[in-house]
Amino acid sequence: MSVPVSSFPIKVRPQPVQCGLCLHGAKAFEVHCQKECWSLHFYNYSGTLKIADKSLVFQTGSVSLIPPGVEVQWHFPPHASHYYAHFKSRSLSHRGGVDICLLSSPDAVLDGFGGQFDELVRFFEAGDKLRTSVRLWDLLFQLGEPSSSPAFLHILHPTLQVALAVIRNNPGKNLRVQNLAAQLGVSRSQLTRLFQKEFQCGAKEYILQTNIGRACSLLRRSAMSIKSIAMSSGFKDLPHFNKAIRKETGSSPTQYRLQNS
């Protein structure tokens, strides 16, 4: 069965709206439709999606690009994680467009696409809109004009992919490395070694940095109270939160908010 294609305005830099790493599987299937946004997904699992009255089977490492207003139904296995980016294009026409398959197989995707997508998510979570947009644009170019894109050789370990999904989808939870390792079916030392190899820090440090990044983003962009931000970013008390923010930024949470508002 042929895979549908869509003409994407590749000459216009995309405007990211929401990016992240989702963990599905609690439900056997879900239906989604982004009315105003394009959706780019990188799959860390094998499954099935139904789009334009066609059921398409995909493997780990596949990528989908869904136009605005198109309904998609996903069928999930347990522990199904994928990276996603919802974004808008300012172009109202298809001039300068390039045909991109709505679903690209792993063979059609350059090695390292998932690692680059992970960096995109980290840029977004850090509030770096420009780097998020440029990285997303580059990923779209890799899909639309693969012959002009460099080859990258980096792929995240599958255990890390699920670990990152758990961490990023539980921002207000005080995650413990031992419990996370047990959930993933590996030892604490194995999980720590994976994080150390990939991010040059242990799982505990990575979780802390993720929580701090979320807290700093909320301090800059929201009107939430300091206490609410601390609680929603995984910090159990205000003294611990104040100490972490001051160590990271050189300022107290209140000072950081005033300096970046």
In a domain, 101, yes or no: yes
Q: Check pLDDT > 60 for residue 257.
A: yes
- Evaluated on CA atoms 209, 211, 215, 217, the torsion sign reads positive
The better pLDDT of the pair 241, 126 is held by: 241
Where does the pLDDT of residue 37 fall: very low under 50, low under 70, confident under 90, or very high at 90 and above? very high
Q: Is 53 within a domain?
A: yes
Residue 61 sits in the same domain as residue 136: yes
Residues 168 and 110 in one domain: no
Q: What is the pLDDT of residue 147?
A: 52
Amino acid at 18: Q
Query: 38 pLDDT exceeds 90?
Result: yes
For residue 18, being part of any structural domain is answered with yes
In the block, residue with structure tokens 């042929």: 2
Tokens, residue 212: 């701090």
Instruction: Output the pLDDT for position 16.
Output: 94
Mark whether 188 and 67 lie in a shared domain. Answer: no
Model pLDDT, residue 249:
85
pLDDT in tens, 92-116: 554 557 788 888 888 878 777 888 8
Do 24 and 142 lie in one domain? The reply is yes
Residues 102 and 224 in one domain: no
Distance CA 30, CA 27 (A): 7
| 119/19 same-domain check | yes
Asked if 19 and 128 sit in the same domain, the reply is yes
Q: Where are the alpha helices (DSSP H) in 35-187?
A: 113-125, 129-144, 158-168, 177-184
pTM for the full model? 0.62
Distance of CA 159 to the CA centre of its chain: 16
Q: What pLDDT shows up at residue 39?
A: 93
Q: In the block, which residue shows the tokens 């699920």?
A: 162
**76 Cβ neighbours under 8 A, 6+ residues apart:** 24, 25, 27, 28, 29, 30, 45, 47
Q: In angstroms, rounded to a whole number, what is the distance separating the alpha carbons of residues 79 and 215?
A: 27
Do both 43 and 91 map to the same domain? yes
**124 and 188 assigned to the same domain:** no
Total structural domains within the chain? 2
Q: Look at residues 124, 148, 172 and tell me which one is the last residue of a structural domain.
A: 148
Domain membership of residue 153 (yes or no) is no
* 119 and 168 belong to one structural domain: no
**What amino acid occupies position 162?**
V
Domain end call among 90, 114, 148: 148
Residue 151 has a pLDDT of 45
Partner residues linked to 101 by β-bridges: 5
The pLDDT-based confidence of 53 (bands split at 50, 70, 90) is: confident
Residue 254's pLDDT is what?
Answer: 92
Q: Looking at the structure, tell me whether residues 134 and 163 fall in a common domain.
A: no
**Percent of the chain clearing pLDDT 90 (strictly above):** 22
Q: Which domain holds residue 104?
A: 5-148
**Mean pLDDT of the region 74-98:** 77
Domain boundary among 148, 182, 206: 148
Domain-located, residue 179: yes
Mean pLDDT of the chain: 83
pLDDT (0 to 100) of residue 153: 41
For position 68, which CATH number holds? Answer: 2.60.120.280
The residues near 81 (Cβ < 8 Å, ≥ 6 apart) are: 21, 22, 23, 24, 44, 45, 161, 162, 164, 165
φ and ψ of 75, to 5 deg = -110, 125
CATH number of the CATH domain containing 175: 1.10.10.60
